[in-house]
Structure 1
Amino acid sequence: MRSIKEYFVLLLKGIAMGSADVVPGVSGGTIAFITGIYDELLNSIKSVDATAFRLLFQLKFKEFWSHINGSFLITLVMGIAISIISLAKLISFLLSTYPVLVWSFFFGLIIISAVLVARDIEKKDWKAIIAGFAGIAIAYFITSASPAQTPEAWWFLLISGAIAICAMILPGISGAFILLILGKYKYIIEAVETVDIGTLAIFAIGCIIGLLSFARLISWFLRNFQSITVAVLAGFMVGSLNKVWPWKVVDTFRINSKGEQVPLFDHNVLPQVFLNETGQDPQLMEALLMASLGIFIVVAIEKIASMLNVKKASE
């Protein structure tokens, strides 16, 4: 049984996880590992099983709560929610005001995360190489073929939530990164900022479905096909870099459900072409600095995680 002080510390760890998950390339799973709650989080998620539902339907609420480690989960979720809600407005403002710099920062975060994820491949054989290139090709095709704005239908939000939540059990993979691939990052950030209850509720249901299904599936693949699975994930990150390329020129627009004109299709260009076609400053030096900052942050987090891992192993 945790004390009030320990629950407060757990809340702060949830806030740290939420801060990471709102930024593409920084994993909430990594933060959970660094703060020493990764194993408990994984076991708590897995405890939401048939036994838990049986206890719930039998109205044995106390036993149900104890079985799923409810106090731990609810405190962590509260911390994550506090962080996401407080950061959503800032992220939305930065994306609209400094798009090139923000996307450059995200680019740096994701490219170094891909390198670090690839480093964790246990067997770097021909199977892993093929899996990595397959991941690159699939992600590049998805992010190139899909429009800048993907469907806002309830079923797509459901799928987005189900896939994005899997990042909680994958150190190195960010939920925000998954939303970027699916073209729903800005949309969900704006939904949090404007407190769009309908959108957030559907997304939350998708997250629950993901925890109860996809998360277990990915966990099984990691246990049985670690090298191939991690290679595919690393490839996905590399292949999706075109999605966060800072310099884009919009080809066509559309009107969204709020009556706003938003980009439908765009294409990547070099900084000089961006200047010529848009007349806007490509901010090349500032963009390089922001990408470098993103790389530095991920490397620093990884170093801390490695030191804690070594310390834990020596105890």
Structure 2
Amino acid sequence: MRVADIARGAAIGAAELVPGVSGGTIALILGIYEKALAQGDLLLRSPKKVDWRFLLSVAIGMLGAVFLLSKPLHFFVVEYPQLANALFFGMVAASLRVPITMAERPHIIPGLIAAALTFFSVGASAQLTPSHLTIFFAAMVAICALVLPGVSGSFILLALGLYEPVIGAVANHNFTTLGVFAAGALLGIVFFVRGLNWALEHHRDLTLWIMAGLMLGSLRVLWPEFSVASVAMLLLGVVVVSALTRTR
């Protein structure tokens, strides 16, 4: 195992727990994004060529961070939902600049259409009753966030109303739910991640703007009740993500 890669994996895992902080962005900052993406593609096409020491080291770091931090985050989300919403709102709003600045040419209209469609759809989806089936399909979609910097897998779960039950399953070691999530994530890697890779390769700017639009529209589910404390948390979220993304 490589200690440095375990540490990088831990940073990515910690980021993926927090809606608004993208594990892909952290991977970019740490300089392993392209290597991880290439290794993930090899995992599907030619497993014998995979750098297993690298992948396993990163995976161990990610899993360790997830299990270590899930309990305090679960407590924060359950006990202080409005403060959590405000913090996550600030983080997601600040991270919108990541996919936009990665694009060389603007695609404003498709981005606004994606934002509008998402805005009117997430209200209903956020009311879905969690079940193993919905968690399975949500995991298929959320795993794509590991491919695209600026998009948080936890935020996708939050927009679908599944963040609290999933992080609760991690915190409480509910291995049945975690197994369902892992199966969905694995299927998502097979079907969605390769498609997203293709979209980024052939229609990079359009894909990035559409993803930014999806994030913008999904902010609806995070709209907090404003108070001095929630505004402070919102600004804290903006500052934290802005500081991280400026190091790219």
TM-score range, shorter chain: over 0.9
Paired residue for 1:219, among 197, 200, 203? 197
Structure 2 equivalent of residue 68 of structure 1: 50
Paired residue for 1:85, among 56, 64, 67? 67
Tell me, in whole angstroms, the C-alpha distance in 1 between the residues paired with 2:99 and 2:204.
12
Structure 2 equivalent of residue 96 of structure 1: 78
Paired residue for 2:93, among 87, 111, 122? 111
Structure 1: 5+ residue stretches without partners? 53-63, 248-270, 272-283, 306-315
Instruction: State the aligned residue count.
Output: 248
Larger Rg: 1
Trace 1:198-213 onto structure 2 (pairs within 5 A): 198-213=176-191
SS at match of 1:71: helix
Query: What is the CA-CA distance between 1:156 and the residue it aligns to?
Result: 2.0
Per-residue CA deviation, residues 247-290 of structure 1 (Å, 9 max, x unaligned), is 3xxxxxxxxxxxxxxxxxxxxxxx4xxxxxxxxxxxx1111111
Query: What is the CA-CA distance between 1:245 and the residue it aligns to?
Result: 1.1
Per-residue CA deviation, residues 76-121 of structure 1 (Å, 9 max, x unaligned), is 1111111111111101111122221111000000111113322333
Tell me, in whole angstroms, the C-alpha distance in 2 between the residues paired with 1:38 and 1:227.
18
| Cα distance, 1:42–1:132 mapped onto 2, change above 3 Å | same
Structure 2 equivalent of residue 286 of structure 1: 229
Tell me, in whole angstroms, the C-alpha distance in 2 between the residues paired with 1:101 and 1:50.
44
Query: What is the CA-CA distance between 1:203 and the residue it aligns to?
Result: 0.6
Once superposed, what is the RMSD of the aligned Cα atoms? 1.5
Normalised by the length of structure 2, the TM-score is 0.95
1:157 aligns with 2:135: yes
Structure 1 equivalent of residue 163 of structure 2: 185
1:135–1:239 Cα contact (<8 Å) kept = yes
SS at match of 1:47: helix
After TM superposition, which residue ranges in structure 1, 4 or more long, deviate above 6 angstroms?
none
Paired residue for 1:130, among 109, 130, 143? 109
Trace 1:239-258 onto structure 2 (pairs within 5 A): 239-247=217-225
Normalised by the length of structure 1, the TM-score is 0.75
* Matched AA of 2:108: I
* Matched AA of 2:110: A
Per-residue CA deviation, residues 9-61 of structure 1 (Å, 9 max, x unaligned), is 11111110011000011111111111111121011100023443xxxxxxxxx
| Cα distance, 1:106–1:209 mapped onto 2, change above 3 Å | same
1:48–1:212 Cα contact (<8 Å) kept = no
Per-residue CA deviation, residues 168-223 of structure 1 (Å, 9 max, x unaligned), is 11111111111112211111000001111111011111111112221111111111
* Matched AA of 2:22: S
SS at match of 2:96: helix
Structure 2: 5+ residue stretches without partners? none
* Matched AA of 2:12: M
Structure 2 equivalent of residue 263 of structure 1: none
1:295 aligns with 2:238: yes
SS at match of 2:19: coil
Tell me: higher relative CO, structure 1 or 2? Use CA pairs within 8 A at least 6 residues apart.
2
Tell me, in whole angstroms, the C-alpha distance in 2 between the residues paired with 1:151 and 1:91.
19
Per residue, is there more strand in 1 or in 2? 1
| Cα distance, 1:77–1:115 mapped onto 2, change above 3 Å | same
Tell me, in whole angstroms, the C-alpha distance in 2 between the residues paired with 1:147 and 1:19.
24
| Cα distance, 1:150–1:117 mapped onto 2, change above 3 Å | farther
Structure 1 equivalent of residue 212 of structure 2: 234
Tell me, in whole angstroms, the C-alpha distance in 2 between the residues paired with 1:300 and 1:99.
24
Per residue, is there more helix in 1 or in 2? 2
